[in-house]
Amino acid sequence: MIASVPGRELNPRLALQDHWRAMRRETPFHSRLAALDFRNDWYSWAGCKAPLSLWDEELEYFAIRSQAALIDISPMVKYRIEGPDAETYCERVFVRNVAKLRPGRVHYTAWCDDEGHVLDDGTLFRLAETRFRLCCQERHLPWLLDSAIGFDVTVADETEAVAGLALQGPTSCALLKDAGFAGIERLKPFDLAFFPHEGGTVTISRTGFTGDLGYELFVEAADALSLWDRLWEAGQLRGIRAIGYTALNRARIEAGFIVANADFVTAEHAIRADRVRMPDEIGLGWLVDPGKPHFNGRRAILEARRRRSLGHVLVGLEIEGNVPAEHALVYHAKKKEVGLVSAAIWSPMAKRNIAIASLQRPYGDTRKDDLWVEIYALREGQYMKLMKRATVVPRPFVKLDRRTATPPADA
């Protein structure tokens, strides 16, 4: 009888059988978020319950720009990369030069398949000479493991083991100082450092997804709540506010950051063969270092550059008027369809109507004149069809000196 095989109850898999009873998993910070939540406006971020908004989207947005916003980023996918060959391994996987990334530093990077199509973008934390952490949107374990063939390195998923918080906004540095993270003001953008917390360690990096002064904190899941409480207490006089994705998304568009599977389709998820993109086609060409040792997709990327066969370009657009152009079609000379807006808002900081768009070259590349977006604004049962002029502008749309000033001004 299979149902009563000896030793069945010792099988560690059995303890995990009941996961389906909670299809949206709660993050280590969930109880704190739930206590602050008045809208019950949750969405699924990689299978976790995450807030779109907890109280009020606009207040949450202004917390990022004027005070300190606390964001639970635990659902972000995290991989630990460790071993004597960790650096050469990363060099082979990522398009950016990893030899230039010193221990204690973080950089934004991307990685590609053999055809040079972007598998994802993310941040690579060099925690030590031979230890890295990769944070990204999608899951890539098989790719990362297959990339490890021939390298003395281990790759492991630590998404659930490590909890993450982003603390973003002008008062964030002062807040952390108040919370007892001594020396935090010395961190330059993309620096990371380790601080003691409850007998353990919290890793704090001066990074974020808002284009503002801000930090990201990573801690063992068991220490998550005490870390939250430590920040929350220190933040009472600094205007700390827990926020959801809607506000964060506004800030990231202002900062000109792109989101995988929103602004571009990741190569392992693209069902239609023409939806994949090379780094140069999504504004990430600057990451690619052709001079460094071989990396995945190098031949294809250089070949495409040489043959000028890149099909698309990702641009920032400034659009006349104040109606957001989300998912609007982009035209040349009002006639020829040349692309699509993937993200757009009216920017409260820039006081401009801004958008991120993917265009077919040469439009947006060598031909930037006479671009238009067709906005369908649904107003009380009717589409208001607007044809608005669009100008290619550099990203970020909003540039803040406080993002880079070190030490940050005490706010």
Partner 1 sequence: MKRWDAIVIGAGHNGLVTACYLQRAGLDVLVLEKNDWVGGAAVSRSLTPGFTYSNCSYVCSLFRPEIMRDLELPRHGLQVIAYEGGAVLTQDGDFLGNYRDHEAHRREFARFSARDAEAYDRYSRDVTRQCRFIQPLLMRTAPDPTSLKPRDLGELLYLGRKFAGLGASEMAQTVRFWTMSISDFLDEYFETDVIKAYFALSGIIGTALGPMSPGTAYILLHHYMGEVDGSVGAWGYARGGMGAVTRALAASFQASGGTIRTGAAVDQVLVRNGKAEGVVLEGGEEVWANTVVSNADVKRTFLSLVDERDLPETFLRRVRNFKIRGSSGKVNIALDSLPEFPALPKDSPCLRGDLHFTDSVERMERGYDDWKAGRWSADPFLDVVIPTTLDPTMTSPGKHFMSCFVQYCPPKVEGRDWTDVDRDAFGETVISQIAEYSPGFRDRIVHMEVRTPRELEAEVGLTEGNIFQGELTFDQLLFNRPVPGYAQYRSPIGGLYMCGSSTHPGGGVMGAPGRNAAAEMLRDLKRGTRHMSAAHDVI
Partner 2 sequence: MTSSEAGRFDAIVIGGGHNGLACAAALGRTGRKVLVLEAADRLGGAAGTHEFAPGFRVSSLAHILNRLHPEMVAGLDLRKHGLALSAGAIPSVALSSAGDPLVLDGAYGERLDGTIDAADRSGWSELRSLLFRQAGILKPFLSRRPPDLGAMSLGQASLLGSAALSLRRLGKEEMREFLRMVLMNVADVLDEHVGDDRLKGLVAFDATLGAHLGPRSPTSLLGLYYRLAGEVAGVTGAQALPKGGMGAVAAALARAAEAAGCKLRPSAVVGRIMVEKGRACGVTLDDGEEIRARTVVSAINPVTTFLDLVGPRHVDTGFVRRLGHIRMKGDAAKLHLALDAPPRFAGLAEEAHRGRLVIAPSVDHVEKAFNPAKYGAYSPEPVMEITLPSLGDPSLAPAGACVLSAVVQFAPYALKQGWEAGKPKFLAAIMAVLECHAPGIGRSVQHAELLTPADIEARFRMPGGHWHHGEMQVDQMLMNRPVHGADGYDTPLDGLFLAGAGSHPGGGISGAPGWNAAKRVVEVRG
Q: What would the DSSP string read from start to end of 134-192?
A: EEESS--HHHHHHHTTTSS-EEEE-TTTEEEEEEESTTHHHHHHHTT-TTGGGPPTTBE
Residue 110 beta carbon to partner 2: minimum distance, rounded to whole angstroms: 14
In one-letter notation, the amino acid at residue 289 is D
161 binds partner 1 (CB under 8 A): no
Q: Which of partner 1, partner 2, none interacts with 17 (beta carbon under 5 to 8 A by kind)?
A: partner 1
The three-point CA angle 28-139-115 to 5° equals 160
Q: Which of partner 1, partner 2, none interacts with 384 (beta carbon under 5 to 8 A by kind)?
A: none
Q: What would the DSSP string read from start to end of 297-357?
A: THHHHHHHHHHT---EEEEEEEESSSS--TT-EEEETTTEEEEEEEEEEEETTTTEEEEEE
CA end-to-end distance (rounded Å), the chain: 69
For residues 302 and 295, give the distance between their C-alpha atoms in angstroms, rounded to a whole number: 11
Task: CB nearer to partner 1: give 78 or 332.
Answer: 78
In terms of phi and psi (left: phi > 0; alpha: psi -120 to 50; beta: otherwise), the region of 359 is beta
Q: How many distinct helices (H) and strands (E) make up the chain? A: 8, 19
Which tokens belong to 7?
């030793």
146 binds partner 2 (CB under 8 A): yes
Number of residues that bind partner 2 (CB under 8 A): 18
Residue 89 beta carbon to partner 2: minimum distance, rounded to whole angstroms: 8
Number of residues that bind partner 1 (CB under 8 A): 33
Per-residue interface string for the shown chain with partner 2, residues 298-337, x marking contact by CB under 8 A: xx--------------------------------------
For residues 191 and 133, give the distance between their C-alpha atoms in angstroms, rounded to a whole number: 14
Write out the binding residues for partner 1, residues 45-64 only, by CB under 8 A.
46-47
Scan for tokens 């996961």, then name that residue: 19
221 binds partner 1 (CB under 8 A): no
Q: Which of partner 1, partner 2, none interacts with 44 (beta carbon under 5 to 8 A by kind)?
A: partner 1
In one-letter notation, the amino acid at residue 6 is P
Write out the binding residues for partner 2, residues 85-114 only, by CB under 8 A.
88, 92-93, 113-114
25 binds partner 1 (CB under 8 A): yes
Of 123, 147, 249, 353, the residue at the interface with partner 2 (CB under 8 A) is: 147
309 binds partner 1 (CB under 8 A): no
* Binding-site ranges for partner 2 (CB under 8 A): 88, 92-93, 113-115, 143, 146-147, 149-151, 293-294, 296-299
* Binding-site ranges for partner 1 (CB under 8 A): 1-5, 8, 11, 13-14, 16-20, 23-25, 44, 46-47, 115, 138-142, 145, 157, 268-271, 273
